[in-house]
Structure 1
Amino acid sequence: MAFFKREVSPVERFESTLRDRRAARQKQAERVSAVETVVGEKRAVAERLAVAGATAAKLGRAETRLRAVEERAKALRAELTEFDEQIASTERALADAKAQRERDMLADQIEQMAAAIEQAAPGFGAGAAALVDAVTKSAALVPEATRFSTSVDAVRREVLAAADLVCWQLRSAAVRTRSGNANIAIGATAELEQMPTQEIDRQLIYTLSTLRWREGDEVRRVPAFALVELPNTLLPVALRYQHVEYLNARRVQTLIHIHGSEGSQGEPSPDDPQLIDLDALAAEEESVRANVA
């Protein structure tokens, strides 16, 4: 029967190498200590001979033996220094391997989150579709039920589009995490967490142009290439003129990868020549329809 060895991880490999080098360094340190003891003894002998007035021949032999052990001690100390450098290098490699292991674990968790969202999204879509069918397939026409069905269908489209976008962003974040990029920032999350205001029905959308519109007494200005909540009343005209795009569009995913989700610049200035006035576009279309009628 064939037995297969478990593949050793980089962390385990570096830990094993570090243990071996530390053990070898300990043995080398013991050899250095032993030879330095011999050096001390040889120096003491040479000193006693010199003090006692020994002959030149005896002093020469003592000096030769002293120099030999000193050279030996010098070589062993150099090898000990080399062991220290190898241990320091291995410790750095071990730290890098542990950091990579942590990044891989975090990336795996992010990918698991994306997979879980993808698995749950069809169930949500089916449930929302069943609610819509309960109204649209009924023979009775009730305005309240129709409005409910329309709202549910809009929420379904928006949630499924947002699910596609966040799964793509999560997988991009996992790739950046594995490569060691610590800036794991999914710019859309902060936007997705902001619920639309109750006063105005809105749609989370991605801008392709610098836009402006009015909400009561407030004038909203948003940059191009940003996630914004656009009033549903302005959404059709913005889509027709291709100033915005749905989140699940393939080009939106590419643009988010290039520009991010918060725009290539801050809030546009009021006199920005590239500002597109959505209110003016909507009014112009309304005027054209009135003239045609």
Structure 2
Amino acid sequence: MAFFKRELGPVESFESALKRKRAARQKMAERLNLTEKLLEEQRAAARRLAVAGATHGQLDRAEAKMRSVEDRARGQRAELDELDEQIASTERALAEAVLQRDRNRLADDILALAAAIEQAVPQFNSSAVALVQASQKGVVLPPEATRFSTSVDEMRREVLSSADLICWELRSIAVRTRAGNANVALGASAEPHQRPSPETERQLIYTLSPLLWREGDEVRRVPAFTLVGLPRDLLPVALRHQHADYLSARRVQTLIQVHGSGSVQEGQGQDDPETIDLDALAAEETGGAPANVA
């Protein structure tokens, strides 16, 4: 019956090699210790012979024995130094292998998350389609049912587009993580691109220009090429003037690959002269007075 030995991974291989080298160093250190003790004995014997006035032949033999032991000790010290260098090199390789193993595990977890989202998307789509179809049944459709059906269908398209985007981003992060050039914070709660106020209805869009608008006394600013939840009453203005577009738009998918999805930071784009005031733009369209820029 044939027995197959399991192939060791990089971490296990380096751990095994490090264990062997440390054991070899321990043995070499013990041998060197015995050799140095013998050298001290040879030196003491030669000293006694010289003090006692021994013959030339006796002194020659004592010096030869002493030189032989010195050569052996010198060779063993060189071997010990080489083992120390090998151990240090193996420890560095082991640390890198452990780091790569952890990066691989994290990348695998990120890919599993992307796969789980993709597997859940068809079920969500089917449920949303069924809800839309259910709200459209009937000979006479009240306006509320029509609005509800339209809202659910818009949400369905937005979620499908967002799912495609997040899966693409997760796979990109996994590749960078595995290569060691990504900074992924573990256990940290992800901050949304923008905290939506509960009373404001928003639409997730991608900006093509730096934008600003007002929500009460607060002036909100976002740079270009950023995912942001824009108030729905300003969305038609931004779309008509080509300052934003839906996530499902083909050009948005390309821009995300070029610029990334961006992140909204406080004060970002504060001094950008190209910033578009959406409130003022909406006021101009309706013939009203332009809004004051805070």
Give 1:274's aligned residue: 274
Give 2:87's aligned residue: 87
Q: CA deviation at 1:8?
A: 2.4
Q: Give, in whole Å, the separation in 2 of the partners of 1:8 and 1:58.
A: 58
Deviations 1:208-263 (A, max 9, x none): 10112233444332211222111112212312322112224454455445355116
CA contact (8 A) 1:223 1:266 kept: no
CA contact (8 A) 1:225 1:263 kept: no
TM-score relative to the length of structure 1: 0.85
Q: CA deviation at 1:272?
A: 3.7
Give 1:42's aligned residue: 42
Q: Residue 191 and residue 114 in structure 1: after superposition, are their counterparts in 2 closer, same or farther (change >3 A)?
A: same
CA contact (8 A) 2:210 2:222 kept: yes
Q: Give, in whole Å, the separation in 2 of the partners of 1:136 and 1:197.
A: 31
Q: Give, in whole Å, the separation in 2 of the partners of 1:2 and 1:34.
A: 45
Moved over 6 A (4+): none
TM-score relative to the length of structure 2: 0.85
Q: Residue 13 and residue 272 in structure 1: after superposition, are their counterparts in 2 closer, same or farther (change >3 A)?
A: closer
Say if 2:117 is the partner of 1:117: yes
Mapping for residues 23-102 of structure 1, pairs under 5 Å: 23-102=23-102
Deviations 1:1-35 (A, max 9, x none): 98765432111211221222223223322321232
Q: Residue 44 and residue 115 in structure 1: after superposition, are their counterparts in 2 closer, same or farther (change >3 A)?
A: same
Q: Give, in whole Å, the separation in 2 of the partners of 1:278 and 1:24.
A: 74
Give 1 or 2: higher helix fraction.
1
Q: Which runs of 5+ in 1 are unaligned?
A: 288-293
Q: CA deviation at 1:56?
A: 3.2
Deviations 1:137-157 (A, max 9, x none): 432211222222222222222
Q: Residue 218 and residue 102 in structure 1: after superposition, are their counterparts in 2 closer, same or farther (change >3 A)?
A: closer
Aligned residues: 284
CA contact (8 A) 2:193 2:228 kept: no
Q: Give, in whole Å, the separation in 1 of the partners of 2:24 and 2:201.
A: 72
Q: Residue 247 and residue 57 in structure 1: after superposition, are their counterparts in 2 closer, same or farther (change >3 A)?
A: same
Counterpart code for 2:91:
E
Instruction: Report sequence identity in percent.
Output: 64
What RMSD over aligned residues (CA atoms) do the two structures have, in Å? 2.7
